[in-house]
Structure 1
Amino acid sequence: MSGYAHLTTDDLVPPDSPHVFFDPADTETGVWVANDLLTDGCSVLDLGSGSGAAAAAMVRAGAARVHGVDAGAESVAWAMEHYASPRTDPRVTVAQGDFSELSTNELLATAPTPLGRPIIVTSTLPYVPLPEQVNGQRRSIAGGDDGLKWAPTVIRHARSLGSDLGLSIASYSSPRRALRLLRSAGYRVESVTLAALPLGEFTLQHSERVLALEETGEAVLWRTGGGPTRYFILGLACRWVGAEDPLEEGRLTGDMLLRLLRVAARSRTGALEALDERGASDWSGTTGWSGPVRVLDLPPAPVRQHC
């Protein structure tokens, strides 16, 4: 996919507050992931909803209702003014709350009216592995030692609802472990969405953990001649299948996902053409996972705000 299909021109204008997260490629990826899970009449609980642009785009994509929860007061204020006011769309609501501290029922209770079922849980996690001494300096991107600090909490909320889950991380956020967490919670990956993005300024300044994960084979970066080092935003559309999934047949494993990312990193362009040139046989193994892989080749944003 070339260009933004879900975000509008207004969504691509940076918020005037530096305390509101803005990274359109992340947001577009997250909406595509949600789109793969939407069913007629469903609601979405978007955890870490940021500016509200994703919530509004999910409604445009077909969700009957989207309720976003974010810990940042300025993010919630921005979202309420631009996406969740009576003059915009009553199907979009937002509330301030910390999904790492509130129970699932408490998160649902932040909505002004009950969310209709089925509910899909979505989250673009703060996914950057950072050294401990700087982890608190960029809450919107800080993902702990391995980039998955917040993943168990989001997965737990989704599992408690028996909900499908749209999760976005990065190719350097320990994807093999992410797949193990999802499987143990009863989730199967139905589709994968990839978008290449240069490492952010703060990540470049504090890249020790990212490089350490790459050295141990638990992260994938994309280096092309002369260009900036990039990574892949990794959107995972996950179906709830119940208890821990015992079946191997047809399941995307962590090893397969890492192989897919390594094939993508052989590409020369943002279209990730190596995935077509090499074919699924290079990474899909013997379990026969047949879910789609979507590639977003997006124009660079003029600015990225990581607060």
Structure 2
Amino acid sequence: MPHISRVTAYTHLTPHDLKPPGEPEVFFEPVDTEIGVWVAADLLPPGGGGTVLDLGSGSGAAAAAMARAGAARVHGIDSGEQTLRYARTHYASPPSDGRVTFALGDFALMSAQQLLATASGPLPQPLVVTSNPAYVPLPPEVDEARPSISGGADGLKWAGAVTGHAQALGADLGLTIGSYSTPRHAVAVITEAGYRIAAVTLCPLPFGDFTRRHPERVLALEEEGEAVLWRAGPDPLAYFVVGLACRREDSDVRPVGAKELMDLLHSAARSTTTRLENLDAPGEMPYPWPVRVLDLPPATARHHW
């Protein structure tokens, strides 16, 4: 039976990474970033190696941490010019090394080959495509007000493009969503592209300020049974950041549908502490993949734009 493990401190992000960038258009959400690195690490070869193509690479902190976690090469692509400048200044490797690089581009509008063309030189195999895209479901009238978090009506506005690139490149897939980002639909997108979940990482997180002011779409999805909120914890408006490490269907990962992920989230939501203790409760069904719970100290700051 796959085990449940718990991590109680930031493992991949350094104290430097946990300092707010101080730039208006540089996303800063340490929990999401830490989970994204765990997901990439779950997919990298044992002992290190391979390449991570990080779509929507943001500040660059995740890319640098993925290299520290064992990737031989990490290449980030982001559409924000200010974000790209920040990432190159603070996280790109020296030209003599070149392990961590960044390029400007909108991955939703590019082909998989165009993405590869933004990197200099060949990329070591195997290839892993990861993304921590904007995933907050928001009403149409405010969806464009916060580009760094706006995930469309179902929170999965970018998931199809990310998954499609991984499929086209024959790569394994790492995707971060929110438990309110229609996880049932997310599994359908992953499955239809030929992927199966291999490991799950969870961390509870309170709503951000903008989502608190505009919860209408999230609450509607909860009422429809398509979103899972964490209401039994210390904050009545909280959710789970969900990191999905996915392998291609031709691997030896047992096919698992959306029900198992929804059952996991509902079980976690019955917990009263950030340890998500209900996952260990007697009578809970065994989970078909390893589950990692991040019980992290609250971030001193969060910045969405």
State the 1:3 CA deviation: 0.9
Counterpart position of 1:250: 254
- CA gap 1:226/1:42 in 2 versus in 1, 3 angstroms: closer
- CA gap 1:87/1:114 in 2 versus in 1, 3 angstroms: closer
Counterpart position of 2:242: 234
Instruction: State the distance in 2 between where 1:226 and 1:188 align.
Output: 33
Residues 120-164 of structure 1: CA distance to partner in whole angstroms, max 9, x if unpaired?
Answer: 000012100011111111111110000011111110000001100
Residues 153-209 of structure 1: CA distance to partner in whole angstroms, max 9, x if unpaired?
Answer: 110000001100000001000000111111111001000000000000111111111
Aligned-partner residue type, residue 272 of structure 1: L
Counterpart position of 1:303: 301
Aligned-partner residue type, residue 33 of structure 2: T
Q: TM-score, normalised to structure 1's length?
A: 0.93
State the 1:87 CA deviation: 7.9
Equivalent residues of 1:82, 1:88 under 8 A apart:
no
- CA gap 1:107/1:279 in 2 versus in 1, 3 angstroms: farther
Equivalent residues of 2:201, 2:242 under 8 A apart:
yes
Unaligned runs of 5+ in 2: 1-6
State the 1:213 CA deviation: 0.5
State the 1:85 CA deviation: 4.3
- CA gap 1:90/1:134 in 2 versus in 1, 3 angstroms: same
Task: Name whichever of 218-227 and 146-155 sits farther off.
Answer: 218-227
State the 1:4 CA deviation: 0.2
Instruction: State the distance in 1 between where 2:267 and 2:93 align.
Output: 44
Unaligned runs of 5+ in 1: none
Correspondent of 1:141 among 135, 149, 161 = 149
Equivalent residues of 2:202, 2:293 under 8 A apart:
yes
* 1:271 counterpart = 2:275: yes
Equivalent residues of 1:141, 1:306 under 8 A apart:
yes
Instruction: State the distance in 1 between where 2:283 and 2:304 align.
Output: 35
Please identify runs of 4+ aligned residues in structure 1 that moved more than 6 A.
none
- CA gap 1:33/1:280 in 2 versus in 1, 3 angstroms: farther
* 1:8 counterpart = 2:6: no
* 1:20 counterpart = 2:26: yes
Counterpart position of 1:126: 134
3-state SS in 1 of match to 2:141: helix
Counterpart position of 2:36: 30
Counterpart position of 1:294: 292
State the 1:57 CA deviation: 0.4
Q: TM-score, normalised to structure 2's length?
A: 0.93
Counterpart position of 2:217: 209
Instruction: State the distance in 2 between where 1:227 and 1:52 align.
Output: 30
- The root-mean-square deviation of aligned C-alpha atoms, in Å, is 1.8
Correspondent of 2:203 among 180, 195, 199 = 195
Aligned-partner residue type, residue 44 of structure 2: L
State the 1:114 CA deviation: 2.5
State the 1:291 CA deviation: 1.1
Identity %: 58
Equivalent residues of 1:176, 1:254 under 8 A apart:
yes
State the 1:112 CA deviation: 2.2
Instruction: State the distance in 1 between where 2:261 and 2:230 align.
Output: 15
Correspondent of 2:104 among 96, 108, 111 = 96
Residues 91-127 of structure 1: CA distance to partner in whole angstroms, max 9, x if unpaired?
Answer: 1000111001111111111112231221100001210
Equivalent residues of 1:53, 1:83 under 8 A apart:
yes
- Greater relative contact order: 1 or 2 (C-alpha under 8 angstroms, separation 6 or more)? 2
Residues 258-293 of structure 1: CA distance to partner in whole angstroms, max 9, x if unpaired?
Answer: 111011011111110100114541xx5xxxx63101
- CA gap 1:225/1:60 in 2 versus in 1, 3 angstroms: closer
Instruction: State the distance in 2 between where 1:48 and 1:264 align.
Output: 28
How many residues align? The count is: 297
3-state SS in 2 of match to 1:250: coil
Counterpart position of 1:158: 166
